[in-house]
A and B are shown apart, each in its own frame.
Chain A
Amino acid sequence: MIQLSNVLAIFRRELRSYFNSPVAYVVIVVFLAIIGWFFTSNLFLMNIASLRVVFELVPLVFLFFVPAITMRLLAEETKSGTLELLTTKPVRDIEIVTGKFLAAWALLAAALAPTLFYLLTMLFLGSVDIGPVLSGYLGLLLMGGVYIGIGLFASSVTENQIIAFILSFLIILALFLMDKVLMYVPEGLASTMEFLGMDYHFSNIARGVIDSRNVVYFLSLLSFSLFATTVSLERRKW
């Protein structure tokens, strides 16, 4: 059972903390600069008006971006001792985890939102098949959510933010590369590994095919990572 008001209180504090410090602005600006450079150079140099570059590049940029925004979420509170204060309030651990997850997810969505201007530009230039674009954004949000879940988990196992960053980067990288190294693994394993790979599911969605299998894959990874984070928070009780 989750009490929504507790989740919202934690969500608001985390979001405010992002925007009170330079973290959010730096991360968003860098993110947009990278994506924007690729989009506009395609547009002006190659005369290609396509969002494909966004969908191909963002998962890679997220690989750095997400650990950077999740690394402090729990590690900092463990280190400064505020986690003790938070967990002795009448708040469930799962509410803490959910609130923090939603805050990071909102920041990610806020970084992604300005890229909708590219969509507007393209609509202005010609006709766009809007379906795959929307499902692509859905895929980015789902995939970003999983990244954040993993980052949150990494942040819960250590009080060192650098370690949290590296750990989440490595786990995400492993899941990202899973379906790209198939030629090096035994044949029996290949199909399993392909199914576990994040990019396999994402590219399906980004193509405009919203298959429940892909959505379920992301949602189950996401729930599992949040569950693992909650368990890791309860580790203090062992």
Chain B
Amino acid sequence: MSIAVRNLTKLYNGTPAVNDISFDVKTGEILGFLGPNGAGKTTTMKVITCYMPPTSGVVEVDGLSIFDHSLEVRRKIGYLPEMNPLYLDMNVLDYLLYSAELHQIRGAAAQQRIKEMVHVCGLEEVRHKDIGELSKGYRQRVGLAQAMIHDPEVLILDEPTSGLDPNQIVEIRNLIKHLGRAKTVVLSTHILSEVQATCDRVIIINEGKIVADGSPEHLQRQFHSADIVTLELKTGAKDPILDIAPRLRVLAYVNTVTLLGHEGPVSRFELHADKGQDVREAAFRLAVSEGWVVLELRRNITSLEEVFHKLTMA
């Protein structure tokens, strides 16, 4: 079940929340929608789920336009909105039955699906409780259960882990990963580790525009500007800036050498090398030939955090 978004623009009172974005989500993919608050993630999701139409542009789910086949599109999608709105006065089973009925699932089939969802989402203990009495983690599970009650092929989850404690975040994340195997999933978040942990692909969106698109690893590779190596040496040198740094600087591809710290015989350096060049081997050989003891030699990977920061703060 694929999703195609073409030239989507949404204006609120003349200001664009989403500005001419296009992307595809392939069947079976888990796509992470990343961006600062107010970047247009939620707006895009509201358009895909047929909650509101775009100002211009086209969205198709499985080849069906959201304009001409709104009901069919909604039938295929399971949606967990931001803030996870629920009827607090209903108990869990009643609420799931209501959700099933609104998806035209009734009778024994509905009971079967409810049983499955209660099991998969771990709601056995609370199934007779009012939703208003549940903790945030359980409410989030109820939100996921209602989104999947009709076994949709597409899941749209808007900040599924916001407001949860770290343990609950891990649980929900695993649940999404587990359930998302057979489905097309779009989830939005502003937590970067979440994307790294769950998603096959990331779209970074900022001020209504897509600024990056690719797998988390791909983005890390694409956006690091230099290879940085951290080196900690134990030497007899009295002044590392004069005695050691110049020798490191002349290594092939090394551009700058910075002294990070110096304590007794131990000094820490940071080597900035040309993009794509690994200078660890050369540094190691130099140390061996000089008789320096290597305490640490590490290549720094640009984290997604840095990529995000670079793209959204510029």
| Partner-binding segment picked from B27-35, B74-82, B247-255, B290-298 | B74-82
Determine whether the beta carbon of B51 is less than 8 Å from that of A80: no
Determine whether the beta carbon of B89 is less than 8 Å from that of A89: no
Asked whether B119 is an interface residue with its Cβ less than 8 Å from the other chain, the reply is: no
Residue on B nearest A91 in the bound complex, by CB: B102
Determine whether the beta carbon of B51 is less than 8 Å from that of A87: yes
Determine whether the beta carbon of A89 is less than 8 Å from that of B99: yes
Given contacts A5-B106, A80-B85, contact A88 B101 (CB under 8 A): no
Q: How far is the CA of A21 from the CA of B74 in the complex (A)?
A: 31
Q: How far is the CA of A82 from the CA of B71 in the complex (A)?
A: 18
Q: How far is the CA of A1 from the CA of B89 in the complex (A)?
A: 31
Q: How far is the CA of A135 from the CA of B46 in the complex (A)?
A: 48
How many residues on the A side are at the interface (Cβ–Cβ under 8 A)?
A: 24
Determine whether the beta carbon of A20 is less than 8 Å from that of B53: no
In the complex, per-residue mask of A1-21: 1 if CB is within 8 Å of any chain B CB, else 0: 001011001100100110011
Given contacts A90-B74, A236-B52, contact A9 B101 (CB under 8 A): yes
Distance to closest chain B CB from A173 (angstroms): 31
Tell me which residues across on chain B come within 8 A of A237, comparing CB atoms: 52-53
Which of B79, B104, B146 has the most C-beta atoms of chain A within 10 angstroms of its own C-beta? B104
Q: How far is the CA of A13 from the CA of B103 in the complex (A)?
A: 15
Determine whether the beta carbon of B49 is less than 8 Å from that of A88: yes
Tell me which residues across on chain B come within 8 A of A86, comparing CB atoms: 102
Which of B87, B88, B106 has the most C-beta atoms of chain A within 10 angstroms of its own C-beta? B87
Asked whether B50 is an interface residue with its Cβ less than 8 Å from the other chain, the reply is: yes
Contact of A5 among B77, B82, B101 (CB under 8 A): B101
Asked whether B86 is an interface residue with its Cβ less than 8 Å from the other chain, the reply is: yes
Q: How far is the CA of A80 from the CA of B72 in the complex (A)?
A: 26
Determine whether the beta carbon of A89 is less than 8 Å from that of B51: no
Determine whether the beta carbon of B102 is less than 8 Å from that of A236: no
In the complex, per-residue mask of A201-238: 1 if CB is within 8 Å of any chain B CB, else 0: 00000000000000000000000000000000000110
Determine whether the beta carbon of B51 is less than 8 Å from that of A81: no
Distance to closest chain A CB from B62 (angstroms): 14
Tell me which residues across on chain A come within 8 A of B260, comparing CB atoms: none
Residue on B nearest A21 in the bound complex, by CB: B89
Asked whether B83 is an interface residue with its Cβ less than 8 Å from the other chain, the reply is: yes
Asked whether B98 is an interface residue with its Cβ less than 8 Å from the other chain, the reply is: yes
Distance to closest chain B CB from A184 (angstroms): 42
Distance to closest chain B CB from A21 (angstroms): 7
Tell me which residues across on chain B come within 8 A of A56, comparing CB atoms: none
A1-45 with Cβ < 8 A to chain B: 3, 5-6, 9-10, 13, 16-17, 20-21
Q: How far is the CA of A217 from the CA of B103 in the complex (A)?
A: 36
Determine whether the beta carbon of A90 is less than 8 Å from that of B85: no
Given contacts A81-B81, A85-B85, contact A90 B98 (CB under 8 A): no
Determine whether the beta carbon of B81 is less than 8 Å from that of A84: yes
Residue on A nearest B85 in the bound complex, by CB: A81
Tell me which residues across on chain A come within 8 A of B87, comparing CB atoms: 13, 17, 82
B23-43 with Cβ < 8 A to chain A: none
Determine whether the beta carbon of B74 is less than 8 Å from that of A89: yes
Determine whether the beta carbon of A89 is less than 8 Å from that of B103: yes
Tell me which residues across on chain A come within 8 A of B79, comparing CB atoms: 85, 88
Tell me which residues across on chain B come within 8 A of A13, comparing CB atoms: 87, 90, 98
Contact of A90 among B51, B53, B71, B94 (CB under 8 A): B71
Which of A16, A80, A85, A236 has the most C-beta atoms of chain B within 10 angstroms of its own C-beta? A85
In the complex, per-residue mask of A63-100: 1 if CB is within 8 Å of any chain B CB, else 0: 00000000000000000111011111111100000000
Residue on A nearest B49 in the bound complex, by CB: A88
Tell me which residues across on chain A come within 8 A of B106, comparing CB atoms: 5
B141-167 with Cβ < 8 A to chain A: 146
Distance to closest chain B CB from A121 (angstroms): 37
Determine whether the beta carbon of A90 is less than 8 Å from that of B102: yes
Q: How far is the CA of A235 from the CA of B82 in the complex (A)?
A: 20
Tell me which residues across on chain A come within 8 A of B75, comparing CB atoms: 90
Identify 19 residue pairs between A and B in the complex whose beta-carbon atoms are under 8 Å apart, listed by A's number: A5-B104, A6-B101, A10-B102, A13-B90, A16-B90, A16-B94, A20-B89, A81-B85, A82-B86, A82-B87, A84-B51, A85-B85, A87-B51, A88-B49, A88-B74, A89-B102, A90-B103, A90-B104, A91-B102
The chain A residues found within 8 Å of chain B, CB to CB, are 3, 5-6, 9-10, 13, 16-17, 20-21, 80-82, 84-92, 236-237
The chain B residues found within 8 Å of chain A, CB to CB, are 46, 49-53, 71-72, 74-75, 77, 79, 81-83, 85-90, 94, 98-99, 101-104, 106, 146
Sort A-B residue pairs by CB-CB distance and give the 8 closest, nearest first: A81-B85, A9-B101, A89-B102, A90-B74, A90-B75, A82-B85, A88-B49, A90-B71
* Given A6-B102, A90-B71, A236-B52, 12 extra CB contacts under 8 A: A13-B90, A20-B89, A81-B85, A82-B85, A82-B86, A82-B87, A84-B46, A88-B50, A88-B81, A90-B72, A90-B103, A92-B71
